[in-house]
Amino acid sequence: MAIVWAALLMSAIVCTSSQYIYPKENDRCASNRETMMEIRELLIQQERIKKSVEFIGQMVKRLKEDVTKTHEDVQIIKRGLEHYTDCRDYYLNGYKESGVYLIYPLGLKNQMRAYCDMEVQGGGWTAIQKRTSGSVGFNRTWADYKKGFGDVTDSYWIGNDVIHQLTKGRNSSLYVSITLTNGTTLYELYNQFSVSGESDKYRLFLGGPATGTLGDRMLNTGMSPYNLSGMYFSTPDRDNGRYSHIYSDRNCAAYWGGGCHAAFLNGPWSSTDWYNPWSPTVMYSRDIEGVLMMIKAH
């Protein structure tokens, strides 16, 4: 377009000059001016059409995205109408695709979203913790961990009340996985897992056998301080750590921003303060692409 405008400008200059030298050229120059105006209008219209096409393209793209999201929401709601307690129920009723589902662990009046893995170790796993970025902070209060927080499509904690309800009176397994930045996924499977209610400080009960590629850093570690079975839940505002009476000046959850242990999955994302996520297999948080903790009733 710049070339066209240059040509039109040059034509105008030539005509303006020649009118004084060759008066008979007036008619031709007048005709040229009309042509120039017509071309100018055509170029303006062309630019408007181009912008309109670009705008329509953007609108079509947004419409496609909205349609896709609406379809996904409809599928989630449709699945939720069947009022299943957890992901295992969905799996047993023919749902084999991993994704977000509506579950009812606390009764029909308390629906919630959860990520369901329908592929790993036979499928039917309910994710109780999921981290894929640092968009959600895990240095939270007792109340936050009680009710749950975060974005189920990215990073979230399902809630301690929900975990208790899903494992109460049931034989459940715990699956822990860490995906590294090089694409490798390591896991550890614990055959027995349950969490007590709030009145018992959400005490963890864990049993073997433990199998996998991460290594056991929660149960039979060979060092009693690192054996987690029987331990209470702690947060920065409520210290229930095993050695709180010894280290009266240090609340592990507050000091390390989420906990302290050789199995430490709730630390500050990609921070030097998140040390020993799963020692000694994974020593530095910078190596972590994603973390997942899932449960399933036997």
What does the pLDDT read at residue 246?
41
Which candidate, 275, 288, 268, places its Cα nearest to that of 180? Answer: 288
For residue 136, give both structure tokens.
């959600």
pLDDT by residue, tens only, the chain of 298 residues? 554 444 544 455 445 554 445 555 566 666 677 777 878 888 888 888 888 888 888 888 888 877 777 766 766 666 656 789 999 999 999 999 999 999 999 887 789 999 999 999 999 999 999 999 999 999 999 999 999 999 999 999 999 999 999 999 999 999 999 999 999 999 999 999 999 999 999 999 999 899 999 999 898 776 656 788 998 998 888 887 755 444 445 566 655 555 556 688 998 888 777 878 898 899 988 999 999 999 999 8
What does the pLDDT read at residue 33?
73
Contacts of 195 (CB under 8 A, 6+ apart): 160, 163, 164, 167, 202, 203, 204, 205, 233
What does the pLDDT read at residue 256?
56
Give the count of beta carbons closer than 10 Å to the beta carbon of residue 175.
20
Q: Identify residue 241 by its one-letter amino acid code.
A: G
CA separation for the pair 296, 128 (Å, rounded): 10
What does the pLDDT read at residue 63?
80
E strands along 155-235, which residues? 156-157, 172-180, 185-195, 204-212
What does the pLDDT read at residue 118?
98
What does the pLDDT read at residue 244?
46
